[in-house]
Structure 1
Amino acid sequence: MIEASDTGSTEAGREGRGRDFWPADESGRKRPSPKLLLGAAAALAAVVVAVVAVLVFTGGEDAPAAKTALPTAYTPDFNGEGFAEIASRSADARAITEGEAASAKELKAGAHSFKLAESELTGDCKSATWGARLQGDLAKFGCSQIVRSAYVSADKKYVGQFFVINMETVEGVKQILRDLQRETGAGWVTPLNPPGVPAFGAGFSAAYAKTYGHYAVITWVERAGGDKSTTLNELIDVSLVIEGAADFLYGRLDLASGTGAGQ
């Protein structure tokens, strides 16, 4: 497991990991790559339209336990445009490294900036998920790794989860995206809940899943503390920032297509 400390605080070294993880305001954060921002902007219009068709709201339910938490709203994107070169793991056989999994220490776009609170890379896909049907399909379609990362915003208003699921082929990715629809009851990815960060999954939340070749990329966001007054448009903006953590997959795409020199 990889954990990020609050290096922006002068108290971090003295107090260690026991204190609340709230990032200090900092300047000079790395901007997401132009390639990623272009893809995110193009996806936004499709997400807004798709949300109307696939949203499912839970109403006034009690806060779920993190073990079986579900997003209030979920929008899958099965397109996968631009990632045909790595539609199969055979074209991208190198396993995800811990360095890649935790490479996005800071994310910033527009008015939002986030800092990595914790990241975990596992080869045990069952341990990072819940639900027998989902876990069965992960095994059936060749899940080899799951990346889970937790982010918290600099203004302390939002928390986000970022997941990457390494599948054998794009068809397996599409099956997992179908499984994640609430109405299937198949299960979900278990969110990380780092010490000192508000518990995730208790309030109105939105998740967006996309097809990146043989990788399923999922962002899941909510207001810190589970504030149920959050609007869907607000969470769309936040999710696009969190999706910036998928930038390392563009490097893999470049390598597979022969346009990259390595990472």
Structure 2
Amino acid sequence: MTTPTPTPTPTRKRRRSSGKEESWSIPLLEEWGLTPMQQRVLVVLASVAGVLVTVVGLIVVIEGLGGDRAPERAAAGAAVVTQPRPDTYQAWASSKVFAPLAQSTSDSKPVTLKELFPTKTLKEGKVTLRLAGTGLETDCAAAVWGQGLVDLLAGGGCTQAARGLYVSADGRYVAQYTLFNLRDAASADRLVAELTTLYRGGWVHPLQTGRATFPTGGHTESSGHAMGHYAALVWIGRADGADPGPRDDFVSLSLTVRGVEKAIFRRVVAVTDGSP
């Protein structure tokens, strides 16, 4: 008996590999420093999404893939996370009361720490605050963090940044009052208004005294007050960083630390009377 010869199974001819990867290069992406593999990933993402990737979108993806600007963005993000900043913020424009201080040229005498913080204690109702530390900078950028805020101060012609840190008599609360000496009322109004959205990415540094400070990640509240060519930032919270409870009167706490503003009212009187 003759054994039938098996029919050969058709085989698909395999493509020969040249041993090299197909050259992948998009000039614009190459200029941004993307490797061929990173370019492939970007194109695949765009294809799956089924949309055109705009320049802004490209830059974001590039940074995620390790572009040149990624370290800068990472550093900025780290600053937001590690720097104490308020959870809430309210802005108040300058009122007519401060019209005599609309221009710094009419009130050119620099502020002093003795003028702003003449006493060691501020008291309002049941709240008593004790001065824990002060600081005065002629380089306003040194008193804050966040490039947006630094730029605002520079654009507003800031010449002084004065800070006073207070702790309540029972040690329960911490409050800081910061005063910026700017070019004019328009600059002060702009600063407090811009901080309505900017405060999460730029704020004042808390003074370090060893007695109390604003804990990173703790709940704090703030407000901005324009007074002629001055802009003040009020920053308050519990020393332990906890959320305020029924016993915590943050309104009275804010009013108490704003006792510092008596010095500004005295300047209104001095300018109105023509005093030096």
2:142 match: secondary structure: coil
The sequence identity of aligned pairs, in percent, is 28
Pair 1:84-2:126 in alignment:
no
**Structure 1 counterpart of 2:155, from 117, 140, 143:** 140
Match of 2:108 in 1: 93
Query: Counterpart of 1:120 in 2: which secondary structure?
Result: strand
| 8 Å Cα contact 2:158-2:180 kept in structure 1 | yes
Deviation at 1:104, TM superposition (A): 3.8
- The TM-score, its normalising length taken from structure 2, stands at 0.66
**CA offsets, 1:146-181, max 9 Å, x none?**
011100001211110101010000111112112322
**Alignment pair present for 1:193 and 2:208:** yes
Secondary structure class of the residue paired with 2:141: coil
Partner secondary structure for residue 216 of structure 1: strand
Query: What whole-Å deviation, never above 9, does each CA across 1:184-218 have from its counterpart, x for those lacking one?
Result: 75511112131122444542211121111100112
Gaps of 5+ in 2: 1-79
Q: TM-score w.r.t. structure 1 length? A: 0.69
Aligned to 1:171: 186
C-alpha change, 1:153 and 1:185, in structure 2 (3 Å) is closer
| Alignment-mate amino acid for residue 242 of structure 1 | V
CA shift digits 1:77-98 (9 cap, x unpaired): 0142300000110110001123
Alignment of 1:184-263 (within 5 A): 186-200=201-215, 202-230=217-245, 234-258=249-273
Q: Which residue of 1 aligns with 2:46?
A: none
**Larger RCO: Structure 1 or Structure 2 (Cα < 8 Å, ≥ 6 residues apart)?**
1
CA distance in 1, matches of 2:198, 2:108: 33
Aligned residues: 197
User: Are the aligned partners of 1:101 and 1:121 in contact in 2 as well (CA < 8 Å)?
Assistant: no
Amino acid of the structure 2 residue aligned with 1:190 = H
Distance 1:116 1:91, change over 3 A: same
In 2, the alpha carbon distance for the partners of 1:82 and 1:127 equals 30
Equivalence map 1:27-106=2 (5 Å) = 65=82, 68-106=83-121
TM-aligned CA distance change 1:250 to 1:244, over 3 Å: same
How far apart, in 1, do the equivalents of 2:234 and 2:199 lie? Answer: 19
Task: Please say if residues 167 and 216 of structure 1, whose CA atoms lie closer than 8 Å, have aligned partners that are also in contact.
Answer: yes
> What is the alpha-carbon distance in structure 2 between the residues aligned to residue 184 and residue 109 of structure 1?
27
State the alpha-carbon separation in 2 of the partners of residues 69 and 258 from structure 1. Answer: 41
Contact 1:202-1:225 within 8 A present in 2 as well: no
Conservation of the 8 A alpha-carbon contact between 1:101 and 1:119: no
Question: Looking at CA atoms only, which structure, 1 or 2, has the larger radius of gyration?
Answer: 2
- Over 3 Å counting, the alpha-carbon distance change for 1:149 and 1:184 in structure 2 is closer
User: Is contact 2:149–2:203 with CA below 8 Å preserved after alignment?
Assistant: yes
User: Residue 130 of structure 2 corresponds to which residue in structure 1?
Assistant: 115
Distance (Å, rounded) in 2 between the aligned partners of 1:149 and 1:179: 23
8 Å contact kept, 2:148–2:198: no
Q: CA separation in 2, counterparts of 1:86 and 1:252?
A: 8
